[in-house]
Structure 1
Amino acid sequence: MNAYSSFWQRYFDFKGYSTRKEYWVPTLVNIAIISILIGLIFVSSSSKLVWLVNILSGIVLIFVIAMIIPQIAVQVRRLHDINRKGFLVYLNLILGIVESFPREGSVLATIINFIGLIIGIWLFVYMCLGTREHVEKEKRLWI
């Protein structure tokens, strides 16, 4: 639970380091929370409890929005822990925003989606790597 409380306490900390545990515990707990809430939404939507679906949907929306900044921060700190800069996290965020604009059938959209997928896989691998000996900020690798 220490790792999960640290996730929320270090909301705007983009400069430090985070271990694998400090990254994976909150990530998996947040996935579990969202999955449970979405499961409750599906169960409630089959009945006449529209008000409950609306409330649960609002809770999920607020939770996901509240989770965006600390999730980015913990990813950047995790990259610092393996001597990388946070560039990939920011690039992935920008690509995610660009991907959200509808452009069906566009070759550019397909290329951007593919690049986003590759960066997402790359980040996943980086999040799994162990801690490395820390170096000065200027000597960290971009990618």
Structure 2
Amino acid sequence: MNIRNITWQEAIPIRHQVLWPDKPPVFCELDGDEAALHLGAFIKGQLVCVASVFFDGSRARLRKFATLQSYQGQGIGAEVLSALLSGNVLKDRGVEVFWCDARESAMRLYQRFGMSPEGERFYKGDIPYFKMSVLLEH
């Protein structure tokens, strides 16, 4: 597997297919995409997982983290998170807090990386979420 920076435009097809297949692709575009960091995981040259990180001072938010269905459950998302959290990408930008809105069904993945839930369960549509975060050591 190869994990590298991608453009936000490269992230859209996987966001669309995994997160909102019933919406038009333009629905998958976010304000701030052009300034965010986008990582992609490639297997045999095929983009199979995308993660977008948005920066706000010393805080970074993971948004629109998606893996193609046929590649889910194989540790690819964990590898992408590991690349983000164990490398210098966030530290070099002075990030102190890394956070996301995690689907309740994915909480164990984030907990493996030291992320803890904050506050109460909330819903986006009918999907339950928790805000999760971790303080980064420098």
| TM-score, normalized by the shorter chain, greater than 0.5 | no
Q: Please say which structure displays the higher CA radius of gyration.
A: 1
Higher relative contact order (CA 8 A, sep 6+): 1
TM-score after normalising by structure 2: 0.28
Identify the structure with the greater helix proportion.
1
